[in-house]
Amino acid sequence: MDRESIHFENIVIELFILLALIGFAYVFYKREIVTVNRVANLTVRNLPYYTLRSLIRMGVAYIFSLLFSIAYGFAAATSKKRAAIMLPILDIFQSVPVLGFFPAAIFFFIAIVPNKIVGVELASIFLIFTSQVWNMAFGVYESLTTIPKEIKEAYHFFDPYGKLAFVRLYLPATIPKLVYNSIVSWSNGWYFLVACEIFAVGSASYSLPGIGSFIMESASESKISLTLLGILTLIVVIFLLDLFIWKPLSQWSRRFRYSMNPGEEEETEVWGVVSLFWEFVGKILRSLKNKIVKNESGVLSFYNIVHKVFPSKVLYAINKTILFATLLLTGLLVYKIAIVFPSFIKTIHLSYFLISIKATFFSFVRLLIAYIISVAWTIPVAVLMFYHQKGARILSPILQILASIPAVSLFPLILYYFIKFPHGLDITAIILILTGMQWYLLFNAYGGLKTIPNDIKEVVDSMGIRGPLKFKRLLLPASLPSIMTGTITAFGGGWNALIIAEYIVLKGKVYSVEGIGSLLDKSLASNNQGLFIVALTVMVLTVFLINHFVYRPLYDKIAERFNMEA
């Protein structure tokens, strides 16, 4: 099968998925959610409880993201046939602004769960899941497909039947990328925390108890001291998680790297108190392990137990059952869409398409302005961090904390200062969109610079190349593929940020600007189902077309031309 036919098949698969998603949004569209606001007491005493609820929500979403990423990435990386179907699906879910489908997701979970409160809680976890998982799944797939060929051959020489390949070869290979992407995914989760914990659909709104809803509720009521206290609490939580979890994991993950650049030093980032804490935890875990696994070959015994409980025929049957269930659910969704399609057509007007296209244009202009601003400051900062590694080690955690703060919680403060200026609402919207885009560019650009081989840097330095010429001849070409990756993910974050940047309600007053995000919110508020589906369709198709005909061809050319090899 040639490359063009594979590309055409991928487009067909992706278009089918897009139509299924839009159909899902229509089938589960409802007028409102009948629930009760649960954030009643905005007091300092309740802040620890709200923080704990948000942490549990984030933790549950992350566990599901981790399990899904490993399973999905492994399945796609170990079969070209599966990859041909699974990668387009993953690409679509990464690109599509998930917040546009969130109202349908809420109704879906409420429909399948008798308890509406539990249903909304599940919907919140699901949204956090969608903000974390795609980045991690791509990381797993990339790690498995880039395992050096000689390492695979050496491993299969000692384990020709591949009985322990997953736990001894594949899983360790994913750890470095998975840990790094997990940090980024947690930042994404924190960023969309407010959107996850506060829903407004039609005339009804619902707030889950959490640090995100605490910050937003206190800000909307102009309780600035409580807002700042909530933000400070969030910063402390992010700092402690980085100190006690992500830094130790990052240092631990280095032992699974296949190689290091010549002359690269092993950095020690973990504080002594953190090491003592994890040594104590390790002793407890080892004592539990000794009680559970009494023989020396724990992994092998686990493998044997799994295959005794689930022999090959059973695993094959489970695989076919999952495939059958997927096809059945797809068939049911198509059937539902076919039933409601005639009545849906009657609600559609040509003017809806014109309004949606115009709104999408305004939103894209805001995205473009935010992107230009992002590039203008992130590239120079990434270069400075590259030149000053000691300063970068101090600055990186600060930037990660700033990237994690839900920017929408600062909307009242930003609005207060810019509402006095002409087009103050537009400026505020661009600032909020900027917060959803800039960090992707910064972290990717800096990551790309760090991958420049040391011998190439030494050759350039020995030739006396400095300043702008070094940036033009070495740093920019070496980081361009990473900058392009950051551009793709930044626009994905920007499209999601539009939903919360262009339309917001404070103290019962609506602040909005013309755009596709605002149009989606307004159509929901007025219960205009036809306009909502048309606006969602136009936005999704716009993102799809830009990805396929702009980002991907450009990325392929840049990756091929500026591939940096030692």
Identify the residue with better confidence: 316 or 444.
444
d(CA 230, CA 237): 11
Identify the residue with better confidence: 114 or 137.
137
Please give the pLDDT value at position 30: 54
Please give the pLDDT value at position 341: 64
Task: Please determine, for residue 536, whether its predicted confidence score (pLDDT) is greater than 80.
Answer: yes
pLDDT in tens, 245-264: 888 888 888 787 765 554 44
Domain residue spans in the chain?
54-256, 313-346, 347-566
Instruction: Give the sign of the dihedral formed by CA 348, CA 351, CA 353, CA 355.
Output: negative
Within 10 angstroms of residue 197's Cβ, the number of other Cβ atoms is 30
Task: Please determine, for residue 32, whether its predicted confidence score (pLDDT) is greater than 50.
Answer: no
pLDDT in tens, 316-344: 666 667 667 767 766 776 766 667 666 66
d(CA 443, CA 378): 9
Identify the residue with better confidence: 278 or 315.
278
pLDDT in tens, 510-529: 778 899 888 888 887 777 87
For residue 100, give the nearest of 414, 411, 434, 363 by alpha carbon. 363
Q: What is the mean pLDDT of residues 390-413?
A: 75
Contact 477, 562 (CB under 8 A): yes
For residue 74, give the nearest of 180, 159, 9, 167 by alpha carbon. 167
Identify the residue with better confidence: 298 or 142.
142
Contact 418, 427 (CB under 8 A): yes
Please give the pLDDT value at position 141: 84
Task: Please determine, for residue 127, whether its predicted confidence score (pLDDT) is greater than 70.
Answer: yes
pLDDT bin (cut points 50, 70, 90) of residue 357 is: very high
Which stretch of 31-40, 64-73, 261-270 has the lowest confidence by average pLDDT?
31-40
pTM, whole model, 2 decimals? 0.76
Same fold, 54-256 and 347-566: yes
Domain 54-256: CATH architecture, name and number where available: Orthogonal Bundle (1.10)
For residue 195, give the nearest of 436, 468, 510 by alpha carbon. 436
What is the overall mean pLDDT for the chain?
76
d(CA 320, CA 322): 5
Percent of the chain with pLDDT over 70: 71
d(CA 128, CA 192): 7
Identify the residue with better confidence: 82 or 505.
82
pLDDT bin (cut points 50, 70, 90) of residue 40 is: low
Please give the pLDDT value at position 163: 64
Query: Where on the phi/psi map is residue 166: left (φ > 0), alpha (ψ -120 to 50), or beta?
Result: alpha
Domain 347-566: CATH architecture, name and number where available: Orthogonal Bundle (1.10)
Q: What is the mean pLDDT of residues 469-482?
A: 81
d(CA 109, CA 100): 16
d(CA 219, CA 214): 8
Length of the chain: 566
Please give the pLDDT value at position 343: 66
Task: Please determine, for residue 201, whether its predicted confidence score (pLDDT) is greater than 60.
Answer: no
Q: What is the mean pLDDT of residues 503-512?
A: 74
- What end-to-end distance do the CA atoms of the chain give, in Å? 33
Q: Which residues are CB-neighbours of 556 under 8 A, at least 6 positions away? A: none
Q: What is the mean pLDDT of residues 149-176?
A: 75
Identify the residue with better confidence: 506 or 251.
251
Task: Please determine, for residue 2, whether its predicted confidence score (pLDDT) is greater than 70.
Answer: no
The enclosing H or E element of 505 equals: strand 503-506
